[in-house]
């Protein structure tokens, strides 16, 4: 008696699953993470790099396109412009403000015990909105306004992204060697949350 192996079943998706399962997804996230880290080296290209990662993962989820370095590079070239480079100045400015505020909080100023948690919440909120903005598809690509609107309209998804940003920060602090790989899971989380939010069942 011969057994029939149903190979296509391995590519089927469970109800509610946005991306395909299996080791391929893990490899795709590693590749996208490394490419995004390289593209973020000039700092000001970070928004365009994350947007390219999201567009690449979205193409894989919606159209079954393979995740390749060439596809990522094409999305990155299409996303780099004066506007995206100007938005790329926001993360370092925000980071500098956070460092200054953290230094002030350590100086035993009155109300520091209240401001410290507020600063953490502010950083997580900004990270969630930023990830939302990079995951938005055309014609609202890299729109901070659209990212803010979607964050307010989908608080559950925003909490998920804030949790992802917090986890990434903890991993970067505890295991710095993982830093080059972290953009991949972050872009994946932002893309999955955005696709879930705009889907009819989301």
Query: Can you give the length of the chain in residues?
Result: 202
Q: Which of 25, 82, 24, 85 is nearest to 49 (CA)?
A: 85
Report the phi/psi class of residue 4: left, alpha or beta, with left for phi > 0 and alpha for psi in -120 to 50.
beta
Is the pLDDT confidence value at 196 over 50? yes
Stretch 130-147: mean pLDDT: 87
Confidence (pLDDT) at 22: 55
| pLDDT, tens digit (0-9, with 9 covering 90-100), for 103-114 | 777 776 676 677
Predicted TM-score (pTM) of the model is 0.80
DSSP letters, 21-66, are: -SHHHHHHHHHHHHHHHHHTTTSTTHHHHHHHHHHHHHHHHHH---
CA gyration radius for the chain? 19
Instruction: Count Cα atoms within 13 angstroms, Cβ side, for 84.
Output: 23
Nearest residue to 148 via CA among 127, 174, 168: 127
Query: What pLDDT is stored for residue 6 in this prediction?
Result: 42
- Give 89-96 contacts, CB < 8 A, sequence gap 24+: 89/44, 90/47, 90/130, 91/43, 91/46, 91/47, 91/130, 92/43, 94/123, 94/126
pLDDT tens per residue across span 89-137: 888 888 888 887 777 777 766 766 777 788 888 889 999 999 999 999 8
Label residue 7 by pLDDT band (50, 70, 90): very low
pLDDT at 99: 82
Give the tokens for residue 161. Answer: 């992204």
Structure-token pair, residue 176: 């710095």
Give the tokens for residue 29.
């996230």
Read off the pLDDT of residues 14-57 as tens digits, 9 standing for 90 and up.
Answer: 554 455 555 677 888 889 999 999 999 999 999 999 999 999 99
Greater pLDDT, 11 or 160: 160
């Amino acid at each position: 008696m011969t057994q029939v192996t149903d190979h296509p079943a391995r590519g089927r998706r469970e109800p509610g699953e946005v991306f395909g399962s299996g080791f391929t997804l893990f490899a795709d996230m590693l590749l996208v993470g490394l490419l995004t880290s390289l593209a973020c080296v000039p700092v000001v290209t970070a928004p365009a790099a994350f947007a390219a990662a999201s567009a690449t993962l979205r193409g894989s989820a919606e159209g079954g396109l393979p995740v390749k370095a060439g596809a990522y590079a094409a999305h990155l070239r299409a996303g780099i412009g004066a506007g995206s480079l100007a938005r790329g100045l926001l993360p370092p400015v925000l980071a500098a403000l956070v460092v200054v505020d953290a230094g002030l909080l350590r100086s035993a100023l009155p109300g520091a015990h209240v401001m410290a948690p507020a600063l953490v919440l502010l950083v997580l909120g900004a990270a969630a909105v930023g990830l939302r903005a990079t995951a938005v598809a055309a014609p609202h690509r890299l729109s901070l306004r659209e990212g803010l609107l979607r964050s307010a309209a989908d608080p559950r998804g925003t909490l998920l992204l804030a949790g992802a940003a917090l986890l990434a920060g903890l991993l970067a602090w505890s295991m710095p060697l993982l830093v080059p790989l972290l953009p991949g899971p972050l872009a994946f989380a932002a893309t999955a949350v955005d696709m879930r939010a705009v889907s009819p069942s989301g």
